[in-house]
Amino acid sequence: MKKIIIVLSFCILLQPLLFATGGSDAVSSSERGSYLARLGRLIPPNEIYVEAYIAQSDYNYPLPAAGALSVIPAAGYRDDTAYLMVGLMGRKEDFAALPPMNICFVIDISGSMSAQNKLDWVKESFHIFIEQVRPEDFVSVVIFDNQIELLIAPGQIKSREDRDQFRKQVDALGPRGNTNIYGGMEMGYQQVEANYRPEYTNRVILLTDGMDNASGKTKKEFLDFCTFYRDRNINISTIALGEQADINLMVDMAIAGGGSSRFISDRTVMEQTFGSELDRLVVTAVKNLSMELVLSDGVTLKETWGYSYWTNANTVHYSLDTLHNGDYETIMAEAVLTRPMVPGTVLANFYLSYEDSRGIAQREGPFPLTLGPDSGSLITDPRVREAEGYIALAKGLIDIGNRYIEINGLQTDFNIQRDEQFRNAGAHTREAQHDIPDTSEIAALRKTIIGKLDECLGIIHFLNNRLTEINESLGGGIYAKEPGILENYDNIFTTSMEFYTGESQS
């Protein structure tokens, strides 16, 4: 989830801002963003996906009373912006009642898996998994570093001896070598294909903490390979472990391969994923979802998030390959109301088509999205209100990231000019440099940097106030990691601001 974390540090005189590189999607993006912020790093704007922040909450969508999924429409507005929201919730069945599984786990055992004892997370999680496996399930394990090995051939776990043997083989793994993700994935697909049964859940589950550095394959080759098997009803789900994992690749592989992706930063989340939430990673509730959001007259689309989409006149078309068992999905759209509308007005209607677990085509709708009553500064519907906070946060972090790119350039110019000034003055110690006044050019750069830092701090404070307001209105406890992200951002920018304003300028 090995991509290098780039730390930009600027001259010994400057208090640096730290900028991490990476990629992401859905929940993976927001989880990784929170993780990097805790490390004191800024999240670059191209790693922030608004839909990922929206998708991290399940919004307490109700499980379907009957059928394969439930549809939960909602709408609200703040100022001149309307928010349209559609939640989808897949059915939830007990593990014992799920269709039989044909699964191959593809495990990264490269040297980097020793960091944070990530390979131990995997081992402990398999202890949980193997106790759930049923006699009809087929399980295999492929391991890879720069070499590929079939650790456990496809077979059924039918006895305590089988479970103990499986556990011993996984427990014996140790980290080594480089990272050939493509080769591991390829062998994993082969194991599932060898035991393919149309009535089974046929799935590869890839676990890695790095980026492919041994196969020589392009990203397109990865995605084409995943698509090839998805079209043959063999899907792939990906688990990215730790800060240096190539999330972009992991997420795109899951999308192309008809599966789901997770970013995991600690042992607890890993064990949860292999325990109570394994079905959300593996088992399909419905597939081939085709959805339409038909906007009413006077409602103009501004922006939308949630899966592949295209627009035609007043209709937004969305597509989603798979909704997993017990899993949830959220579509959000921002729209402009071009004429006055009273509470109770239908802003849009939602329709969807899909195939259920039996392969039978279904069509549902319309589901009306109705404008709620005006409640002043807060959106009436609590789900929409919560989602609006995530949208504000993600957009604000993107804004900060873009501003920091500009600050970074200014800091580089500042460093160059200060270094040249110190060399010309023969100032080789920190004390001597401290007493040298800024030139007019350096003073102007310093002033500009301070102004830009102040703008970023202003955005941070605005976001903190907005999230606090929404959180309090919802009874507290809604936003878990978001205040921490903003606090870390505030510390980063405040420290840099103190350097520029506190250093002698005369």
CA distance 330 to 395: 17
* Contact indicator for 265, 309 with CB cutoff of 8 Å: no
What is the token pair recorded at 416? Answer: 């160059």
The identity of residue 70, as a single letter, is S
Phi–psi pair at 370, nearest 5 degrees: -105, 135
Distance CA 140, CA 192 (A): 8
Cβ of 61: how many Cβ atoms within 10 Å?
A: 19
Q: In the chain, how many domains are there?
A: 3
The DSSP letter of residue 95 is G
Same domain, 180 and 299: no
In this structure, of 32-36, 85-89, 305-309, the range with the lowest mean pLDDT score is: 32-36
CA angle 269, 270, 273 (to 5 degrees): 85
Beta pairing partners, 78: 81
Task: Say what the pTM is.
Answer: 0.76
Which residues touch 381 (CB under 8 Å, ≥6 apart)? 74, 75, 76, 85, 372
Q: CA 70, CA 24: separation in Å to the nearest integer?
A: 27
Domain contains 15: no
| Pairwise pLDDT comparison (410 vs 418), residue with the higher score | 410
pLDDT band at 117 (very low <50, low <70, confident <90, very high): confident
| DSSP-assigned letter for residue 311 | E
Given the DSSP bridges, would you call strands 261-264 and 235-241 parallel, antiparallel or unpaired?
Answer: parallel
Do 423 and 303 share a structural domain? Answer: no
For helices 181-194 and 219-230, angle between their N-to-C axes, nearest 10 degrees: 10
pLDDT of 335 higher than 80 = yes
Q: At what angle do helices 247-256 and 219-230 cross, to 10 degrees?
A: 30
Residues 384, 407 contacting (CB under 8 angstroms): no
Q: 73, 99 in Cβ contact below 8 A?
A: no
Stretch 182-194: mean pLDDT = 96
Q: Is residue 142 part of a domain?
A: yes
Q: Which token pair is 354?
A: 């899909």
Residues in Cβ contact with 174 at an 8 Å cutoff, skipping those fewer than 6 apart: 109, 119
110 and 234 in a common domain = yes
Please state whether the peptide bond connecting residue 366 to the residue before it is cis, i.e. omega within 30 degrees of 0: yes
Which of 120-134, 268-282, 340-354, 430-444 tops mean pLDDT?
A: 340-354
Same domain, 348 and 391: no
In a domain, 54, yes or no: no
- What is the domain range of residue 304? 69-73+290-370
d(CA 152, CA 160): 16
Assess whether pLDDT exceeds 70 at residue 430. Answer: no
- For residue 163 the two structure tokens come to 């479970």
Per the listing, tokens 């540090």 go with 9
Identify the domain boundary among 344, 370, 396.
370
If one compares 377 and 111, the residue with the highest pLDDT of the two is: 111
DSSP 469-499: HHHHHTTS-S-SSHHHHHHHHHHHHHHHHHH
* 119 pLDDT more than 80: yes
Do 364 and 406 sit in the same domain of this protein? no
365 and 417 assigned to the same domain: no
- Is 43 inside any structural domain? no
CA distance 497 to 506: 17
- Asked whether residue 88 is assigned to any structural domain, the reply reads no
Question: What is the CATH classification number for the domain harbouring 181?
Answer: 3.40.50.410
Question: What DSSP assignment string belongs to 379-436?
Answer: -SSHHHHHHHHHHHHHHHHHHHHHHHHHHHHHHHHHHHHHHHHHHHHT--SHHHHHTS
Any idea which of 24-38, 49-63, 223-237, 330-344 has the lowest mean pLDDT? 24-38
Let me know if residue 207 belongs to a domain.
yes
* Residue ending a domain, choose from 370, 393, 409: 370
What tokens does 168 get? 């011993």
pLDDT over 60 at 38, yes or no: no
Q: DSSP states of 26-48 as a string? A: HHHHHHHHHHHHHTT-BPPGGG-
Say whether both 157 and 300 belong to one domain.
no
Tokens of 294: 């038909």
CA atoms of 86 and 351, how far apart (whole Å)? 10
Alpha-carbon Rg for the chain in angstroms: 26
Q: Are 150 and 217 in a shared domain? A: yes
| 62 inside domain | no
> Are 146 and 247 in the same domain?
yes
Residues 272, 160 within the same domain? yes
Q: To the nearest whole percent, how much of the chain has pLDDT over 70?
A: 87
Q: Which among 370, 403, 436 is the end of a domain?
A: 370
Same domain flag for 240 and 105:
yes
Q: Are residues 135 and 217 in the same domain?
A: yes
Q: Is residue 24 part of a domain?
A: no
